[in-house]
Structure formats: C-alpha cells, structure tokens
Structure 1
C-alpha cells in the first residue's frame, strides 16, 4: 500500500472540471446533474482502501447533514483490472454494505482524476454554488485509519461556506492510498 498526500493542481477559485461518468444507479452524471445544490463535494475514493473505509461513516454524516444543500459525489478512478475489489459491481456492493446514499461514479479512463489532480483515496474537493474551488483537503483530522477524529474539518468548512463565511485554509492535505493508475 502506497500512502500519498493530496497535491495542489486545482487552486482556490478554479472551476470544477466537468465530467460525464456512470453511477452505481446505472445513470450518467455530470456537473449539470448537481446544478440545484448550493455546494458540491467531490471525493475521489474506492472500495478497498482502509483510509476510505475509515471515512465512510464521516462521508455519510456529511450526506445526511447537508444532502439537501450539498451534492456529495464519490468518484472511483482506480484500475479495476489490476484491483478487482474496485470493479463497478463491487462499487455497488460496497455502497449497499456501507449505506452510501450519495452518488458513486466510476472514472474508467482516469481522466477525471487527472483533471482534478487527485492522487489519493480519499481526496476531497469542495466547490461553492458557482462551482469554484473553496477547499481541497481532509474530511477530518484522523490521519490514520485507526485514529479517532477530534475535528470534523469538512463539516466545519461546509458550515462556513453555507453561512457565507470565509474558509481560513483552502488546502489541508488528505492522506490515503495512492490512486491505482493504469500502466
């Protein structure tokens, strides 16, 4: 397992790169699918990573707390040939097992991850209603799968965004397994 830290490719104020990806609901999703939300949280994730597994409850909490205002979108860009645990069928199983209610999309070509500059799982990007980047970074301050979070970083930042307040830090790196790139 290669542990990576998020990198800065998109900067604060950059527009969310568009995508057209298949979701576990068997429908195509794009940025326009989420136009009626006040904010968009895109999280690059997968099924097998212990860092993602440790954050699923926290991501579900964000969905449950803000789901009417914030679109939560998980994107799996891992090479599912080399890592069959991350196949589309296993994404559906994982979502069912973990009670995932947010959109979970597959990025077969890995082009979306590259456009966002995602390198690890989870790698979250928070955009405002104009789809400008306001925060790229951690969901909470538990940096290892076995750590207990004492600060809900993403929830605090979403609350600030929805209240019209400035987010102090626009980049606070997330840590996780590396995205499994195709050769």
Structure 2
C-alpha cells in the first residue's frame, strides 16, 4: 500500500511538471521576438491595394517596422515623427513599414478604408499595411500602438536589433532627449552595437 502511494505521488509530480513545462513553452511563444531573433517575412495589403513584403525591398539594409493605427492618441502624436524617420532613413536603406494590427470590428476607426483616408490626409511616405486576421503582430509580440521593431537584413534573414518606443516623450518631439529608433539605426549604419536594445512601448493596447 505504501509503495502504491509513492508511485501515485511520483506520477502526480511528473504530470504537474509536464504541465508546467508546457505552460512555459506556450508563454515563450506568445512573447514574440527577442533581440537577435530572425523575423519572418509577411505579405500584407497596403493602402494603395498592393501587397507588400519585406522581400520586395531588394536594396534595403534593414527595416523600421512600426505597429500603429488611426485612432490611438499616442499613434497620432507620433505620426509626424514616423514620417520623419522614413524621410531620414529610407534613402540610407532603412525604410519605415507601418502596420495596423487592430481588429476593425472592435474599433471601426481602424478599418482599412479609414487607413486609406488617414494615409492620404497625412501624406504618409511609407507603406501602411493592414494586419488582416491579426496574424503578424502576435509573431512580433507587439502589445501597443505604436510599437517599433528595428530589423537588420543579413544573409540569413532579418535580425531583430531594437524593440520598443520611438523616443522618450510622446507629447512633445522637441522635448524628447532620447531618440531610441534614430540611435539604433545610426548605430547599425555604422556597424556598431545598438546602444539601447529594448525600451517599454508607450501607447494604446492592440484591439483584438
């Protein structure tokens, strides 16, 4: 009887351990990319109704992938700075690729038609893509709008080099004294290590 109780106890511990390991595995998958990971390519519809992939940019040295949207006050506050990033770095090989991750059923302001309107109003100089079905943002691990991922193109794929905020002051661009994305791309263009690799993205939660 004592032996049976011991065997039952051991079996219970093994079962709990297996469950715990499985939970950790799922959690790690849900977290998205970390610094040094390879970001998979995607094919998403742009506001001009063309399909856009990272692989379309044959001459790119990397990418500034920004999850953003129409309605979020934080995203709106950063729109001019996102345009500035594209103007600053596209010609140097690091174009901005903006992606709207929100579910338009949860937030109609972020519908594809409204994306077209917003892009035209602001004169976006970069692709503004719709994550239809919300398949891409979970892969990256984006949780906010805006949420930035700077990728460096290598022979083996696009390596994640920076994750987080655009800068340290969403309210006032002139008051931002830490320009994380600019610093990251400048470092990569010089072949140097990104000075700050991860920051906390400040913005609206992504609407699922």
Q: TM-score under structure 2 normalisation? A: 0.79
Name the residue aligned to 1:123: 147
| Corresponding residue to 1:83 among 95, 99, 107 | 107
Structure with higher strand content: 1
1:71 aligns with 2:102: no
Deviations 1:35-66 (A, max 9, x none): 32111111111000000001111111111111
Q: Normalized per residue, which structure has more helix?
A: 2
Cα deviation, 1:1-56, whole Å, max 9, x if unaligned, reads xxxxxx95311111112211100111111121123211111111100000000111
2:182 matched to which residue of 1? 155
Matched, 1:178 2:183: no
Alignment coverage as a number of residue pairs: 174
Structure 1 length normalisation: TM-score?
0.89
Unaligned runs of 5+ in 2: 1-29
Gaps of 5+ in 1: 1-6
Q: In 1, Cα distance between the equivalents of 2:138 and 2:165? A: 19
The structure number with the bigger radius of gyration is: 2
- Shift >4 Å, 4+ stretches: none
- 2:56 and 2:101 mapped to 1: Cα distance? 19
The DSSP-based 3-state class of the residue aligned with 1:42 is strand
- Distance in 2 (CA, whole Å) between partners of 1:102 and 1:168 is 26
Question: Could you say which structure has the greater relative contact order, defined with CA pairs below 8 angstroms and 6 or more residues apart?
Answer: 1
Q: Is the 8 A contact 1:34 1:40 kept in 2?
A: no
Aligned residues of 2:187 and 2:195 also touching (Cα < 8 A): no
Instruction: Output the aligned Cα RMSD.
Output: 1.6
CA–CA distance in 2 between the matches of 1:40 and 1:155? 12
Equivalent residue in structure 2 for 1:136, among 163, 180, 199:
163
